[in-house]
Amino acid sequence: MTKPLVALLSGAGISTDSGIPDYRGPNGLWRKDPEAEKLVTYDYYMGDPEIRRRSWRMRRANRTLQAEPNAAHRAVAELEKSGVPVRVITQNVDGLHQLAGMPARKVVELHGSARGVVCTECHARGSMEDALARVEAGEDDPRCLVCGGILKSATVMFGERLDPVVLGEAVAITKACQVFIAVGSSLQVQPAAGLAGVAADHGARLVIVNAEPTPYDELADEVIREPIGTALPKLLRTLADPS
């Protein structure tokens, strides 16, 4: 029997057990410090050297690059290894799905990756680790080593468009899947949130695993409010072995 294609849309909530704070939850970063949003807003970042310096300091203090995958990330990778076709569409930039063992080609990073940097002028790419080493060495606003342009994290900032090729891949997966699981996402940020609706429209079984209500709950076949670290592995085990 052909196993159903499982698409998993992951948001910040899947990574909170790894020590990475979410953004819009009750204790989310943007609620605690609205000023922090400026540090990841393209126009502010490009127009104000002080914002850039603060952004680099924030990245140095950020736990993202030190974080380890948790039980939920590992459960997704285990499902893929069991022979079930799995595709991950993630709003996260932490790379933890790949670190847990998901093949990189099966992970669509809608908002880019915090593990890389990109030049805003010549688009040369490099590693965040190397850029942060330069900050440690005293460069408070490191420039592109190729052309001297402004460097930024290889993530999609507020005010930037998603890569249309990446978004197209996510939509194609969503339309093709038989099961669509939205986990740890508020489903409030478009166009990623709209994928839940696309999945339902195309006949997929829609499951939402999230602590807070989402705008798509009424479309869902199942809504799970339990902690993600236990709820997701349990749910995925039923997909690996439906008996």
Task: Select from 145, 104, 108 the least CA-distant residue to 126.
Answer: 145
Q: Are both 172 and 209 inside the same structural domain? A: yes
Q: Write down the catalytic residue from 73, 97, 111, 202.
A: 111
The range of the structural domain enclosing residue 14 comes to 1-20+69-111+161-243
pLDDT in 10s for each residue of the chain, 243 residues: 578 999 999 999 999 999 887 655 545 555 566 677 888 899 999 999 999 999 999 888 876 788 899 999 999 999 999 999 999 999 999 999 999 999 999 999 999 999 999 999 999 999 999 999 999 999 999 999 999 999 999 999 989 999 999 999 999 999 999 999 999 999 998 889 999 999 999 999 999 999 999 999 999 999 999 999 999 999 999 998 765
Q: Are both 208 and 223 inside the same structural domain? A: yes
Q: b/e map of 92-107 (b: 16 or more CB within 10 Å)?
A: bbbbbbbbbebeeebb
Task: Reply yes or no on whether 111 is catalytic.
Answer: yes
Q: Are both 105 and 176 inside the same structural domain? A: yes
pTM score above 0.85: yes
CATH number for the domain including 187? 3.40.50.1220
Please name the residue that has the structure tokens 């080593």. 145
Q: Are both 74 and 186 inside the same structural domain? A: yes
Number of compact structural domains in the chain: 2
Q: Are both 170 and 235 inside the same structural domain? A: yes
What's the rounded Cα separation, in Å, for the pair 217 and 215? 6
In this structure, the number of other CB atoms found within 10 A of the CB of residue 203 comes to: 10
Q: In the listed set 101, 131, 155, which residue is the last one of a domain according to the structure?
A: 155
Q: Are both 77 and 191 inside the same structural domain? A: yes
